[in-house]
Structures are given as C-alpha cells and as structure tokens.
C-alpha cells in the first residue's frame, strides 16, 4: 500500500491534500483494509458461539477525573475463550476506550481509532476536542452496522478528561449504540452482557467527589456483582492472579492502575464479601 511500484516512491494519494481523517483516507484508497466494512454473505449470520465476545466494561467519574474498568473474560457461547483479555485501552494521552462485543472486530476498531486520533493531530497540528473524538468513534461504529446486524456487534465505551469543562466536570463518559449514536452519560455507565448488574451496583455505590481508591473499589464491586449474575463476566481470579483492568484519566493523562494495586483492592473486596456476599449497601444520607 505504502509505495508505488515504480522506483519505490510513495503513491500520489500520499502526496495530495486530503482529509485529516485516516479512516476516510483508507475508505477512499484501500477500503479492503477496513475490517469494519466487510459484511458476511447475504443471508449469513454469525453464530454466537463461534467468535469470542468481550463482556462487561464500565466507567465512573471521581474527584480527579474519570475511571474506566473491565473484566478479563471472553466467551464463545457457554465456553470461556480467554481469561485474560484486555478490554481497556488508551486512545491518546487524555482519552481511553473499552469494548464489549466481538473481540476481533473490537481490537481492530480500537487500533484504527488510535491511529485516527494521532493522524488528525499530525495533520491539523492540534488534538481533537473530546466531543469530536466521540463523533469520530461514532462514525467508525456506524461503518460496522452491516456486520452488527449479522451478529458481529462492537459496543465501545469512551471516556476522556476535558480540560475545557468546568472544574469538577472534567471527566466525561460516552456510550454508543450499534448505529453509532453517541450518548454522554453523567456519573457512571456500563456496557456488555453484565452491564445491568454493574449499573445497579454503581447506582448504589456511586457518589460525587470519590477518591481514586473509593472509585476503584466501587468499580471492582460493580464488576463482581456483574460476574455474580452473568456467567459471561469474569470476577477476580485469585488463584491465577488475573484481576480486572482499572485505568484513570486525570489532568496528568492516562494511567493504568498497577497490577499490585488492583490485586490488593480485589483481595480486600473478596474478603469483605465473605461476610457480606451481596456486597456493601448504599451510603446513608
């Protein structure tokens, strides 16, 4: 793709002015490289037990910014396809994306989105606004609509730190439907098969101005509740030392919590569940 057959030089498409969108560039010149545009043969539908699916991811705002987390399990029907899948990824220094849905397409979409943001910044000389980042991701999801209707849906969750927002409102969360519709969510949100249970837990545990530790425990409690009621969601695997991924974005940028910190909080939570299997109750008013 990169070079002309004559003299090994870059093709004319690389030297001509064009869009700041890398996805649009590929659509115009190499649409075959966009996995999200490939559609199964007419009438075909993907069987749910033939492709790995990621399950539960969530996000919540806290005192210093926004936190995003996900369990590690991928399933194919009633089988565990992977126990240590990474569903939470930085998109750039101040944005992160997590995914539920078809793993192969989701990983490709995340990689393409990372390039999309980098390409825009190199071409325009400035980073996108967070609203523009949400719009770009919505467009990429919309390109996958054909495959989503055939059973290969990808459901991302986008979070970012917006330094132009009022103080205390810098952490922002966006969810999407399979048609690419973006929806900003105040406070917290969850996606994936275990999301109803995770949202229920966060509705009980979330409060404004939580510390990083309090927010991390709330996220882990929510993922534990999701795993407790949804067989496709994996809880902390103490014996294998596989724990949820928890990351934060603050004015300092993206940071993934060290595994030692996540393990310590997970073990603390599991120990608490020995005496309270249903988890903590909501804080008194």
pLDDT digits (tens, 9 = 90+) for 180-230: 999 999 999 999 999 999 999 999 999 999 999 999 999 999 999 999 999
Residue length, the chain? 285
- Catalytic annotation present for 75: no
Confidence band (pLDDT; 50, 70, 90) for 20? low
Q: Which residues of 19-57 are buried (b: 16+ CB within 10 A; e: fewer)?
A: eebbbebbeeeeeeebbbeeeeeeeeeeeeeebbbbbbb
Query: What is the percent of the chain where pLDDT is above 70?
Result: 82
pLDDT score of 280: 86
- Tell me the mean pLDDT in the region 234-263: 96
pLDDT score of 285: 42
Residue 154 has pLDDT above 60, yes or no: yes
- Tell me the mean pLDDT in the region 40-45: 62
Catalytic residue of the set 23, 55, 75, 262: 55
pLDDT score of 19: 63
Per-residue pLDDT reduced to its tens digit, 54-92:
889 999 999 999 999 999 999 998 899 999 999 999 999
């Amino acid at each position: 793709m990169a070079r002309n057959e004559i003299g090994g030089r870059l093709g004319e498409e690389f030297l001509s002015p064009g869009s700041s969108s890398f996805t649009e560039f590929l659509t115009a010149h190499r649409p075959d490289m966009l996995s999200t545009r490939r559609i199964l043969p007419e009438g075909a539908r993907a069987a749910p037990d033939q492709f790995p699916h990621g399950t539960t991811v969530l996000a919540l705002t806290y005192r210093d910014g926004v936190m995003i987390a996900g369990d590690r399990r991928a399933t194919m029907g009633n089988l565990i396809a992977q126990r240590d899948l990474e569903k939470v990824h930085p998109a750039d220094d101040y944005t992160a994306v997590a995914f539920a849905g078809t793993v192969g397409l989701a990983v490709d979409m995340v990689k393409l989105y990372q390039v999309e943001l980098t390409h825009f910044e190199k071409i325009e000389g400035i980073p996108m606004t967070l609203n523009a980042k949400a719009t770009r991701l919505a467009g990429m999801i919309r390109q996958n609509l054909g495959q989503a209707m055939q059973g290969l849906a990808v459901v991302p969750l986008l979070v970012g730190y917006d330094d132009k927002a009022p103080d205390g409102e810098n952490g922002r969360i966006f969810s999407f439907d399979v048609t690419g519709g973006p929806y900003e969510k105040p406070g917290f949100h969850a996606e994936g098969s275990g999301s109803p249970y995770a949202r229920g837990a966060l509705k009980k545990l979330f409060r404004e101005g939580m510390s990083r530790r309090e927010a991390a425990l709330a996220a882990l409690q929510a993922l534990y509740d999701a795993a407790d009621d949804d067989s496709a969601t994996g809880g902390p695997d103490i014996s294998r030392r596989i724990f949820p991924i928890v990351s934060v974005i603050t004015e300092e940028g993206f940071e993934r919590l060290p595994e030692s910190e996540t393990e310590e909080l997970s073990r603390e939570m599991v120990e608490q569940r020995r005496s309270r299997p249903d988890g903590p109750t909501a804080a008194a008013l």
